[in-house]
A and B are shown apart, each in its own frame.
Chain A
Amino acid sequence: MYKTFSRQIQWLASRVAVIYVVLFLFCITCIDLKTLDSRIKTRHLNDSIPDFSGMIHFSQDQDPISPNDWKSYKYYFGLILRYIPDDIVTRQLLGYVDYYTGHEEEAISLFKQSSMMQGRILFWSNYNLGIIYYKKGMWPQAAGYFLSAIRSNLDLNLLLMQNSLVYKQIFANHYFKYSINDEIHQAQSRAYILLLSSLHRMHQYEKMNLIFKIAMDNKDLSYKDAFYYYGGLSYLGMGQAEKAFLLFQESLNIEKNNPDVYYYIGNIYQNVGELEKARNFLQASYVLHQKNDPRFPYDNHLDLRFF
C-alpha cells in the first residue's frame, strides 16, 4: 500500500504538472500579490482614460459623440466600478453615459444608488433622476427628485467633484473652460424651475408658491424672471389674479421675450374685460412664439448633466 502510494507520488513528481506547483509556490512566496494586483489595476485604469472632450461638448452643446467615444467612457467608468464598486461619483458618470447610450433602466438604477452618501443628498444624481422622470411625464417622481436636488448641500457636491480623480481628469481637459461653482448653481436654478413646473402640472399651487418664495430668498440663483413667472402661475392657480399680474409684470421687467408671460397677462386682461390690452398682449405672445426662442418655455431644457 505504502509502496504503491510512494510510487504514485514519484510518478506525479516527475510530471509536467510539477511546474504548476512550482509556479504556484513561487507566486505565493516570492511575489507580493497585493502590490501586483493593485499595480495591474492602476495600469488598466491609466490605459483606459478616455478623451473627455466629447463628453464636455455634449454636455454643453449636445454635440454628437461617436459610438466609439461613448463606448470608451462606458468602458472606463465600468472599469473603475469594477475596481472601486462604491465610487459614487463614477456611478453618477456611468449613469449619465448609460442614459445617452439608450440604457435608461441601468442609468436610473445607477443614479438611485448614487443619490445619497452617508445620509447626505447628492445633487447631480437627484437632478438627473428628476429630468428623466420629468421627460417621462411622471411629475410626482420628478418633483420628488428635484426637491431632493435643491435640498442638497452644493458645497459638499463641489468638494466631491474637486476631490474625484475622474473629475480632475475632466477638468484637466483642454476644452473644459467652465467654473464648476457657476455651473452647479445654474443647474440648481434649473432644478427649481423644473420643480415649479412639475408642481404646476400637478396643480399643487400652494406648494408651488412656497417653492417660489424659497427660490426668491436664495440670492445665488439665476433666472429670477422664471421664478416670477412660476410665482405668477401659482397665484393664478390659487385664484389671486392681481398678485399673479404683479409677478408677471416683474418677470416681464427682467425678460421681455417670454411669450407665455404675455399670454397669461393677456388672459388676465381678458378676464377683467380689457379686451384691447388683452388683444395686444396675446398678439405679442403670438409674435414671440413665432420666433421660437430656445430659452422658452423655461422647462424646455431637459438635458442630463454631470457638471
Chain B
Amino acid sequence: MVPYICWGFCFRHFFLGHLPLFEDAISYADHIRFYTDNLSHGVYPLWDPTWCDGAPNDFFLRRIGDANPLLFLIVLLKWFGVSSSTAYLIFLGVYYFLAGWAFYLIARLLLVDRFFAFMAYVLLLFSSWGSEIFYNYIIIIFLPIIWFFYFLLSFSRKAQRAYFLGICFCAGMIVTTYIPFFFLTIMVVFSFLCALFYWHELSDFLKRSLGFFIKNKVFTILCICFLLISCIPGLLFYKESKSGDFVLPGRHSGADSSSAIAVGLDNVASGDIISHGYFDRILDNHTHLDMGDIYLPYVFFLILLTSTFARAYKLIFFLLFNILAIALITVTSAAGVHRFLYEHVIIFKFIRNIYYFFWLAILPMGILLSVAAFKSLLESIDRSSKKAYWLLYIIACHLIFIFFLRGHQEVLWGAWTAIGISLLYFLLYFFCEKKISYLIGFCMIFLAVFIQSAQVYESLSGNLFRVQKNVEIREHLNVASAPLAKMDIYYSSSLFAILVKYIDPQVLDDYRGHKLMLYDNVVPCEDNTAFLKTLQLAMANNANIAFVPRSESTPGNWVSKQSASLHADNDPITSGKVSVVSFDANTWVLRTHLADNQFLVINDNYNLGWHAFINGHPTRLFRANFSFKGVWVPAGDSKIVLRFSDPKEYIFRFFLIGLFAGTFLYLLVLLKRNRTSNV
C-alpha cells in the first residue's frame, strides 16, 4: 500500500482535479459518466441523445464494457454524494491499484520471493503506466487481462474452482468490450510460446485441467455458458456495425471491411509504437516528459545491466520471446508481420491503437524479465565462491551507467540518487547479513524508484500546468453543443454524417437549435444530393415543409395545406402546443394540444430501433428531414411516447449486469474460501 500511496502523491494534481484528463481518457470518462448517471436512475442508455444529435450508444457501451461490476463503484460513490469527476478519478485509482496488485501476485507466482515480486510491482507502478490512466483508456482492458493471467497461472499450478471462475469472469469482462483483440493476440502468442517452452509442463497442465473439468462438470458448463452469454453483446454489436446505422469516418477510412469499426491500414500505422513511444530518449530528457511518453525508473536498466552475466533460465527466454513476438506486430510498417496479419487474420482489421500492446504486454513482461534476471544475479552471487569479482563487476556496471548518462542531456538529480541507492544496496548485499539486507532491500529499492519517479512526475505536472490553461475537468457533457463547423465527426449516425457533409454548418447549427418542430406540410423526397440542397434551403428559411423519404412513406402520409403559414412552428413549447412530460436517454414522453393534425419533427436522429406510440397505440415513426424523427399527431390532446429498442433488449442488458455482478461476488466468495483453506 505504501508505494501505491506514494504513487498517488506523484499524481495528486490529477486526483485533486488541478490537472484535467487528456486525449481519449476524456471521452471515456464522459461515456462512463453518462452510463453510470443513467444507470443510477434506473435507465440503461442504449441511445445517446447528446452525441451528434443522437446515436446508438452500444458503440460506447462496448468501449467501456458495460457489464463490468466495478463500474458500480462510481454509482455507489455518487450515491454517497461524491461528484462525478471525483468518483471517476477514484474509480481510475482503484483500477490501477487492482492492476498493480494482480501484477504483484503474478510476479510472486513466477519469481516466488516476495522481495522480487515487490520490486516488479514498484517498477510497474512508477513507470509511466501510471500516467496512461489519465491519458487513455487501456486500464479498462488491462485490468481484466492481467487478472486473467493471474488466474490462469494459479489454475496451472492448482486446479481450483475459484481460479477457473476467475479465468472465465475476466475473459467475460474482456469480450464484453469491442476490443478483445489485444487480449486475443497476447493470449495466442503466450499460448504458442508456452507450448514451445513448457512442453512437458503443458501436457501435465492439460491432464490436470481435464481432471478438474470431469470432476466439476456442472460448474465447468456453467462457466462456459457464462462466457458464451458474455459474447452476445459483442456479436450483436459486430452485426450492428455492418448494418450501416452508424459511421466512424476517421477510423474507417481505407478499411476493406464492411464493418464500420474496421480500421484502414494507414490508420493503424499512425497508432503504432513508433508513432507514440520515445524509445530514443527513454534514458534522458525527462524534464520534457509529456503524457503518453514512456518512462521507466533507472533501476530497471541498472538491474538489466548488472545481470548481464547472471544465469539465464527458461522464464527469461520465454518472456523475451513473448516481447519480441508482440514487438514485431507493434512496429507495423517497420516489419512485415503486421501487414501479413492485417491481410490474413480478421481481428487485426479492428485494432487501431496498436501501441497499446506495449503497455498491455511488452512493458509488464519486460519488467518481469528484468526482475527475473536480477533474481538470477543474486542467486549467482550467492552460489559463487569469487564474490569479490562480482562486487567489482557490479561497481563497474554502475560506473558505466554513470558514464553513459553523463553524455545525455537533462538527467535529473533523482536519477543520480537512484544509481547511488542501487550501488548502496549491492554493497549492503555483499557486506551485511542476508536477513538485514533483505529487509532493508525493500526500502532501498522502493526509494531508488520513488525518488527518481517523484521528480520526473513533478516535472511532468509542471509541463502540463504550463500547457494547460483551462484545468477544469468537464462536469457536463457538452459534445452536442459543439458548433458543427468545428465538429470533426468521430462517430455518428450515418445519415447525420451526410447532413454534416452537405448542409451549410451555420444553417444546420441554427436548425439543430430547435429540438421540436411542428409542420403543416409533408412532402416526399429522394435521398440524393439534389434533395439536400432543397433541404438546406428549407432549413435556412424555416419553411413549413417537412420531408419524408418517398420509399419509406405512402401518398396518404403526404399533406399539403394551402392555408398553412409560410414558416414552421420551431418553438411549439412556448406556443403551448407541445410539452415535454419526461425525457431520458431512451424515451421521450410528450403531450400535444393541436387545433389541427400536424407533423411533429423531433430533431434527434432517426433509427430503426425507435418506436412511436400515440395515446398508447403504436404509430408510424418517419424519417423526417433526412436524418431526424417525425410523427403525424392528430388534432386535440394526445400523449406521444417515443421509445428506443424493445423491452427484451433491456431485460437482457440488466440480466447481463446482474449476471456479472453475481459472478463477481461468487468469485470473491470462492477466493476467500480458498484463502481460508490455504491458511
A residues at B contact (CB < 8 Å): 14-20, 22-23, 26, 30-33, 35-36, 39-40, 43-44, 47, 68
Interface of chain B residues 305 through 342 with chain A (CB within 8 A): 307-312, 316-317, 320, 324, 328, 331, 333-335, 337
Is A15 in contact with B334, judged by CB distance below 8 angstroms? no
Closest to A26 in B: B324
CA distance A47 to B278 in the complex (A): 11
Does A32 lie within 8 Å of B274, measured CB to CB? no
B280 in the interface (beta carbon within 8 A): yes
A18 touches B331 (CB 8 A): no
Q: Verify if B521 is at the interface (C-beta below 8 Å from A).
A: no
Which residues in window 224-281 of B have CB below 8 A to A? Answer: 274-276, 278-280
Q: How far is the CA of A31 from the CA of B273 in the complex (A)?
A: 13
**CB contact between A68 and one of B274, B373, B466 (< 8 Å): that residue:** B466
| Residue on A nearest B369 in the bound complex, by CB | A19
**Contact (Cβ within 8 A) A16 B324:** no
A43 touches B466 (CB 8 A): no
Check B274 against A36 for contact (C-beta < 8 Å). Answer: yes
**How distant is B413 from chain A, measured CB to nearest CB, in Å?**
21
CB nearest neighbor in A for B337: A30
Tell me whether B324 and A17 are in contact (CB under 8 A): no
**A39 nearest CB neighbor, chain B only:** B274
Contact residues, B282-309 vs A (CB, 8 A): 290, 304, 307-309
The answer to whether A43 and B335 have CB atoms under 8 Å apart is: no
Shortest Cβ gap from A67 to chain B (Å): 12
Do the beta carbons of A14 and B311 come within 8 Å of each other? yes
- Inter-chain CA distance A35–B274, complex, in Å, is 10
Q: Does B320 lie within 8 Å of A22, measured CB to CB?
A: yes
User: CA A40 – CA B307 in complex, angstroms?
Assistant: 29
Task: Indicate which residue in A15, A18, A40 contacts B280 across the interface (CB closer than 8 Å).
Answer: A40
Q: Which residues of A contact B311 (CB under 8 A)?
A: 14-16
Q: Which residues of B contact A19 (CB under 8 A)?
A: 312, 316-317, 320, 369, 373
- Which of chain A's residues have a CB closer than 8 A to the CB of B84? none
Query: In the complex the two chains form, what is the Cα distance from A23 to B308 in whole Å?
Result: 13
Interchain CA distance A164-B276 in the complex, whole Å: 26
How many chain B residues touch the partner (CB < 8 A)? 29
Contact (Cβ within 8 A) A30 B316: no
Query: CB-CB < 8 A to B466: which residues of A?
Result: 68
CB distance from A143 to the nearest CB of B (A): 41
Query: What are 18 of the A-B contact pairs (CB < 8 Å)?
Result: A15-B308, A15-B309, A15-B310, A15-B312, A16-B307, A16-B310, A18-B312, A19-B320, A20-B308, A26-B324, A31-B328, A31-B335, A32-B333, A32-B335, A35-B333, A35-B334, A43-B275, A47-B290
Q: How far is the CA of A39 from the CA of B317 in the complex (A)?
A: 29
* Chain A residues in 8 Å Cβ range of B304: 16
For residue A15, which residues in chain B have a CB less than 8 angstroms away from its CB? Answer: 308-312
- Interface membership of B376, Cβ < 8 A: yes
Chain B residue at minimum C-beta to C-beta distance from A34:
B334
Which residue of B has the minimal Cβ distance to A41?
B280
* Cα(A30)–Cα(B307), bound, Å: 26
Task: Indicate if the CB atoms of A22 and B334 lie closer than 8 Å.
Answer: no
Residues of B484-539 whose CB lies within 8 A of A: none
Which residues of B lie under 8 Å from residue A22 when comparing CB positions?
320, 324
- Are A39 and B275 within 8 A (Cβ)? yes
The minimal Cβ–Cβ distance linking A45 to chain B, given in whole angstroms, is 12
Q: Contact check, B309 vs A17: say whether CB atoms are below 8 A apart.
A: yes
Instruction: For the complex, give the distance between the alpha carbons of A18 and B275 in Å.
Output: 29
User: With a CB–CB cut-off of 8 A, which chain A residues contact B310?
Assistant: 15-16
* Given A14-B311, A31-B328: 7 more A-B contacts, CB < 8 Å: A16-B316, A16-B377, A19-B317, A30-B328, A31-B334, A35-B334, A47-B290
* Contact B335 A16, beta carbon cutoff 8 Å: no
Contact residues in A for B377 (Cβ distance below 8 Å): 16
Other-chain contact of B334, A18, A39, A43, A44 (Cβ < 8 Å):
A39
What residue of chain A has the Cβ atom nearest to residue B288's Cβ? A75
Q: Which residue of A lies closest to B333 (CB)?
A: A35
Interface centre among B311, B335, B337, B369 (most CB of A within 10 A): B335
The distance in angstroms between the C-alpha atoms of A200 and B335, with both chains bound, is 66
| Nearest CB on A from B410, distance (A) | 12
Closest A-chain residue to B276, C-beta based? A43
Digitize B458-475: 1 where CB-to-A-CB distance is under 8 Å, 0 elsewhere. 000000001000000000
* Known contacts A17-B309, A18-B312, A32-B335; A43/B274 CB under 8 A: yes
Taking a contact as CB atoms closer than 8 A, the residue among B276, B278, B309, B328 that contacts A16 in the complex is B309
Give CA–CA (A42, B94) in the complex, Å: 37
* Docked-complex contact B308 and A16, CB < 8 angstroms: yes
Give A307 to B77 CA distance when docked, in angstroms.
Answer: 57
CB contacts (< 8 Å) of B333 on chain A: these are: 32, 35, 39
What A residues does B308 contact at CB under 8 A? Answer: 15-17, 20
Query: How far apart sit A68 and B467, CA to CA, in the bound complex (Å)?
Result: 11
- Chain B hits for A26, CB < 8 A: 324
Alpha-carbon distance between A36 and B327 when the two chains are bound, in angstroms: 13
- Which residues of chain A are near B290, meaning CB under 8 Å? 47
